[in-house]
Chains A and B, each alone.
Chain A
């Protein structure tokens, strides 16, 4: 599902965010990406979602080489990836329903279908009935769940999350992680970047660790004996 091959990323300002990083994630796997802030976690996710392109090396996602992808194919590429952000990036002036419906609207989904699937997604995150609320009327945890509903509403085969629990207390964090696990259970590949090692240990999934842009461990599914995938 995801292959990083000797990937380096240097930003325009000269900062080297990743240096020769290689790992892969199998379809249906759930993987944690950990490391201190600035270690390169966000850069890895940006490279996956094609918000950035690698300076060197190859990134394959859903079988597509992100470096070779033409600009007009980027939109279709992104539709097959659900992204969850720490600051959830909801549109403040649109109700919950519109926010969640956005990935379906851009794919020209029929209105009836949009209605059905938005409700299903909101049901999955436990927010059915809040369709007409504006994001600021919701708690931080609820806003994050709206963000998750938006990421999964179009049923993408890949879900990536950047510090999805960064603003949440331990109970809510656990709840959000369980939610991700449920998506993995139905076949979705999940990559979660987090520095919450306590939470990571609790879930016992494979862990890819980055430090100062270098891979420290967990590069291949069978390379880390201590934390074996549960399935």
Chain B
């Protein structure tokens, strides 16, 4: 009970100390917030880009061309087999007759086609994979599935742009990890330095506390709480910065998506994202304060 009261006192005391020095506290918080907001917004960029490609996935199609000698009944049978696959959303069979008809209608070469003795077009399947099966690997697997049929002449997938896009996302993800690591170290350094100054300013107090029998953990406690408060405060501020940026960007992103015929909208940070942000802030603050306190408090011993 009394120990808990001691912690509460230390926490409130630390909070009071931060509030009494609003300007320097705010500046430190802004630095921490920016360092946390950068990797957090990179993460949002990646998740949103992923969500966007999920939407684009519906635009990906495979065209499966049968050999010309394959009869329509066989093509229909194979189309039905393809429909049974769980990674395929839709299969449309274009018979050679229908293909010729379409060609005659839309190409403007109608008269020239009339001169042909027989239909040169094969039967074709238009295959639309499910959205979750649009990764490069999944598309490659589908392509292999169709190519394995002896009746199939050619499978066309326009997936190169998807692969490139996923490659960019992968680079971004690695960049995110690196940025998070470096900026995390930065946060530890900033908080550590702030704690060092705080300890220097309270040297006399630390001496007296040690003199009257304050243990090292008692002396350390308020500084750890200051670090924790800086970390959590910086994370909250980072959340605010991100929310502000999202609300400013939201409309123009929705407009852009509309131009591409997509109903995509920006996704804000999820509850887990916010929890991770606050947790990271708290942990970094605590670690920075701990390192600094362990280093600088040991050197302070009471003099008579």
Contacts and interface: CB of A to CB of B under 8 A. Distances in A.
Contact of B204 (A49, A75, A91): A91
A111 B5 contact: yes
A89 B208 contact: yes
A46 interface: yes
Interface residues of B, number: 23
Contact of B9 (A78, A105, A107): A105
A102 B212 contact: yes
Given A42-B304, A51-B301, A91 B211 contact: no
B117 interface: no
A111 B12 CA distance: 15
Interface stretch (B146-154, B214-222, B246-254, B281-289): B214-222
Contacts of B212: 78-79, 83, 102-103, 106, 150, 154
A45 interface: yes
A37 interface: no
A224 to B, nearest CB: 26
B218 A106 contact: yes
B2 interface: yes
A200 B187 CA distance: 59
A83 B9 CA distance: 25
Interface string A71-99: 01001111110010100011100000000
Contacts of A162: 304
B6 A102 contact: no
A198 B2 CA distance: 46
A17 B99 CA distance: 109
A45 to B, nearest CB: 6
Interface in B190-212: 204-205, 207-212
B151 to A, nearest CB: 82
B3 interface: yes
A31 B2 CA distance: 36
A49 B207 CA distance: 13
Contact of B208 (A45, A102, A108, A109): A102
Interface of A: 42, 45-46, 49, 51-52, 72, 75-80, 83, 85, 89-91, 102-103, 105-111, 150, 154, 162
Interface of B: 1-3, 5-6, 9, 204-205, 207-216, 218, 301-304
25 contacts: A42-B304, A45-B304, A46-B304, A49-B211, A51-B302, A75-B210, A75-B213, A75-B215, A78-B210, A78-B211, A79-B212, A79-B213, A80-B213, A89-B204, A89-B208, A89-B211, A90-B208, A91-B204, A91-B208, A102-B208, A102-B212, A102-B214, A106-B214, A108-B5, A154-B212
Given A80-B213, A83-B211, A103-B212, 19 more contacts: A42-B304, A45-B304, A46-B304, A51-B211, A51-B302, A51-B303, A72-B216, A75-B214, A75-B215, A78-B211, A78-B212, A79-B213, A89-B207, A89-B211, A102-B209, A103-B213, A106-B213, A106-B214, A106-B215
